[in-house]
Amino acid sequence: MKHRYRVILALTLAGAAGVLHPQQTLASWSTPQYVSSSLTAGTVAKPTALQCSAGLLTKLSFSWTAPVGGLPRSGYSWTVVPNGLGPSGSGSALSSASSVTVPSNILAIGTGTFSITASGPGGWNSIPVTGTVTVIGALGVPISTSCTVR
């Protein structure tokens, strides 16, 4: 009999231990939630009028016009993602910036996609504005760049 009670006690303690240690879960609300204050929606507007400049032994740069309206911007974030082999990198710019020069050390020979977003409050970002970067080289050395905007 004592053995039986020990087994029941052990199982009860094991079950309680599982209850005491919360586990992560993917949870969501399934019923409406209400607040007693007003809510405001906002949008982080994207940069406009994206332009690029490039050429033979010329620094590759992109410029834009600051978005009008929307939530206040805290800055800009840009990336260059290679299309197969090609340039890759990322960076940021201040909210007062209107251009960025792509560092030459990320310009591997090939093509890539340049994207820039405006950053807003709470880590929200605008829809990206994109362009294409092409780096032409000889014997593995970048010589010329070209770019287009979409």
Q: Which fold has domain 48-149?
A: Immunoglobulin-like (2.60.40)
On the CB side of 56, how many CA atoms lie within 13 Å of its CA? 1
H-only helix segments in the chain: 2-20
How confident is the prediction along the chain (150 residues), in pLDDT tens digits per residue? 566 656 566 656 555 555 555 555 666 667 777 767 766 678 889 999 999 999 887 788 999 999 888 888 999 999 999 998 888 899 999 999 999 999 888 888 899 999 999 999 888 899 999 999 998 888 777 888 888 998
Residue 28, pLDDT score:
62
Given this model, what pLDDT does residue 140 score?
75
Q: Cα separation of 126 and 106, whole Å?
A: 24
pTM for this one?
Answer: 0.70
Distances (CA, A) of 12 to 1, 3, 6, 20: 17, 14, 10, 12
> Domain boundaries in the chain?
48-149
